[in-house]
Structure 1
């Protein structure tokens, strides 16, 4: 048993700064008893499924049964509200024309206002529809499938533009600003990104300081790539502010402000983009802008938390909008495959086309499952969903890119022409892999957040090992768990939650969770502080976590379909079987790659090649004709 714990003494972890070294344990038997200190290092528990798989736990209570938070009346209300927009899309709205003019026609803009889509989640007492997250998700899926430019326009306004007021605003702020924002008379924007600070939101340079008389803040700086930047009246702006710490030291910390367009607030011309051209995007400039104390969102110095929670809260809306786009693309692809004849047969009769259609539909099923799982978790009061939101955003954006690209491929040359609208879809969905945190950064966020959580649990054992006699219970429990895991006996049991037809898949999921946590521990012990530099390995780990979450969400949804005998249960069963099987294959491949000496050598080779090319400023290999 002692051998099974000994590797823990090699860990060098400090959770205050991800995986930094502390003093290595040298003399376990000489450690003094300090139960009070051991109690202080207790890791805060989390109910996040993704976070807990890093420790080998399967906390699934919030994920089974698949959330159903809408009554029939609430669902019918959304269908009724969106019906006018759907009719417009079918008869009058021309997405290609809207893209050429880069703005909505007045009648379509007025329709959106009449529908209430500018204030979907604003409480009714403040002039909004008062919808919950799932209703918002459904409306986004229904109304935005035709043109993602509309989705970005509306999302930039309410999903992030004034979401800070909904999450952190005072009652006075809500009464003053929300009525105009909810009707669409006033437009909002989210101003976080700067030329030198994209994914690194903590590195922003914009700065706000108190005026000499202390009566207001003075903001200076600039922002870039701001959706609605040229048309918004209000901006949620993040800037560095001087804050006195508990020790009396003055440090810069980010603060969130709700800024009205006025003296000192200007914007650049509309930026010309690859896609989502309907969305107005500009730079913003703040020159000695006066901001009252009443316009601070949340508390001074807590802007980074405000920004991250706004982004976490808004990611499910992206998933639902992309789900609507994917559905539209699949309808176009299937219609063409059923009508187009090649080599004497319909395209639909060829197995290559059939595989494409099947994969596109499975990706849509998974994306849609993630979207409504996430909105359901939020509506059910779950607070710890940041990793699930990050994974859902990554999956949805990449799945949508695949689906629309394959739709274009199925249509062939016709798909490349503007008239079909498919090439517009290809351009529009591309930004979603960059929006609200690039997928690369979000994968590192998932991996490092989970590893920090797992490292904290291992650190408890590390500290306990300093005095084994006083902590025999903890040590014995950990040793037993490792022995059981090594022989495959410590896998979580999901049989009571998953429908009996999918018990084999549930068992595979459980084993994957155990294998995943073992891989996490291997990386922590092998790399300690240097794991933050192993971004290739962290990405593979995040990919495995993503596929484990895919299996969980799909098993939950298909269990609901089987239990409720929904009309589509047969196709859902077929898709869920393959989704789980292929996810398991990818998980196994990614986890094996973390220990493969050949792949690790290749990784180092990639780095060396890149260093040479970067130093040269371009390719180094000679031309074959030289």
Structure 2
């Protein structure tokens, strides 16, 4: 192992230890690995508090009416753009600041309630659900969790309404699954008032439309010559030296999202824009991604329910051999599998979100499991629905071909399923 590799491994281990060093460090799933079932965390089945459920029901009603009137997934896919009218409408409904505290203009919803909102959007348009996830669940999540009161007062009021949009910038050419291999540098100025950021980021959702970006960069460790660590910074695109290299990278699916590349060429970022403790950016990144994977599961659950709705409708109306498709055993089997998957996905998402809401400190394994399970089950659901429709599903007048293209990224984004599966086993067995 080279010195650089050893340093990255140490950073990852330190981030894990820093994330969950409290009295509940065992975690629910880690307990299962060690033969302990802590039933209090999952039983009885979690429910949203009555008062918030009433507010959530009103929000979902308003959201459904808005989406039904203004959201056109076909046009979003065709034009590779989510209209500003849609973004503004989501802001008015409160979707873009669901979990932000009321004092900053947010709705103060729990993660469970937030997941119900993302599920509703995921039923209709993957591009829009990914946009919301990128803005709220990871884009401004670091600010919500690690920002100072002054930082929150400055940035959140416009972010929670959608007047400004957020993005989370971690990925680079050499830093994908290897999150600790960030190469973008942040060098302190001579007077210590700011840092000079240099490097490039790619595959960043909302990069070209965001006004506030959480950017990970490598900073020198004070008193340790040649040693570096990762620090999170709040960056705005109006800073001199910030350049969008590709605002909308053409891609297979979720075409409505603005996935882009940008460069920072000697960009001066004030020291006051450091997010969280200096040198602890990996902790910020891992925490944010855990939250993002939870709502990722909600988006997939919504899409799975759409698969079920489409499959049942077609099976009850399409006839072959003088019978509706629903009379054939293999079609019944596929519909049952879609229904079972959707049921399990919803339950797993709800329980995982409730662990966060109830204060479980260690939920890395739970969110990793949720992300792997829901993304793979959604792929199976879409394929089953596709087979029930047969050749007609392959054409663009039905939503299934778009859903298939949109869903493929789910097993790669926010941690590839292969890496997360290895992580689950390694961390679980390590205890």
Task: Give the TM-score taking structure 2 as reference length.
Answer: 0.92
Quick one: which of 66, 86, 90 aligns to 1:112?
90
Contact in 2 for aligned 1:199/1:438 (Cα 8 Å): yes
Matched residue, 2:112:
134
- Residue segments in structure 2 that go unaligned for 5+ positions in a row: 1-8, 12-22
Aligned to 2:232: 256
Deviations along 1:372-427, one digit per CA (max 9) or x if unpaired, are 00111111111111101100000000011110111111111111111111111111
- Structure 1 distance, partners of 2:87, 2:167, is 17
- CA positional deviation for 1:101: 1.3
In structure 2, C-alpha distance between the alignment counterparts of 1:324 and 1:422, rounded to whole Å: 14
Residue of structure 1 equivalent to 2:81? 103
Contact 1:233 1:261 in 2 (8 A): yes
Number of positions where the alignment pairs a residue of Structure 1 with one of Structure 2: 411
Matches within 5 A, 1:443-522: 443-453=421-431
- Distance (Å, rounded) in 2 between the aligned partners of 1:187 and 1:276: 18
Secondary structure of residue in 2 paired with 1:277: coil
Aligned runs of 1:588-599 on 2, under 5 Å? Answer: none
Instruction: Give the Cα–Cα distance (whole angstroms) in 2 for the partners of residues 109 and 441 of structure 1.
Output: 33
**Contact 1:69-1:380 at 8 Å conserved across structures:** no
| Partner SS for 1:121 | coil
Checking the alignment, whether the CA contact within 8 Å between 1:69 and 1:379 is kept in structure 2 is: no
Q: Which residue of 2 aligns with 1:307?
A: 285
* Alignment deviations for residues 108-137 of structure 1 (CA, whole Å, 9 cap, x no partner): 233212111111111111111111111101
2:231/2:274 contact within 8 Å kept: yes
- Describe the SS at the equivalent of 2:383: helix
Contact persistence 1:238–1:256 (CA under 8 A) = yes
Q: For 1:283-315, what per-residue CA distance to the aligned partner results, in whole angstroms no more than 9, with x for missing partners? A: 010001111111101111100111001101221
- Once residues 413 and 175 of structure 1 are traced to their aligned partners in structure 2, the CA distance between those partners, rounded to angstroms, is 54
SS, match of residue 244 in structure 1: coil
Structure-2 change in CA distance of 1:135 and 1:209 (3 Å): same
Aligned mates of 1:365, 1:251 — CA distance in 2: 49
Report deviation, 1:253: 0.4
**Residues 415 and 423 of structure 1 are in contact (CA less than 8 Å); yes or no, is this contact kept in structure 2?**
yes
C-alpha separation in 1, matches of 2:83 and 2:261: 24
Displacement of 1:105 in angstroms is: 3.0
Give 1:572-591 correspondences, 5 Å limit: none
Unaligned runs of 5+ in 1: 1-15, 19-43, 454-626
Q: Provide the residue aligned with 2:193 in structure 1.
A: 215
SS at match of 2:203: strand
8 A Cα contact 1:228 1:281, kept in partner: yes
TM score, norm. by length of structure 1: 0.64
Q: Which residue does the alignment assign to 1:334?
A: 312
Report the CA distance shift for 1:152/1:45 in structure 2 as closer, same or farther (over 3 A). closer
* Counterpart selection for 1:185 from 148, 163, 182: 163
Aligned pairs for 1:344-355 (under 5 A) are 344-355=322-333
Hey, what's the Cα distance between the residues in 1 that align with 2:168 and 2:226?
Answer: 27
Cα distance in 1, alignment partners of residues 110 and 205 from structure 2 = 24
Q: Highest CA radius of gyration, 1 or 2?
A: 1
Match in the other structure for 1:441: 419
Q: Structure 1 residues 88 and 411 mapped into 2: Cα distance closer, same or farther (>3 Å)?
A: farther
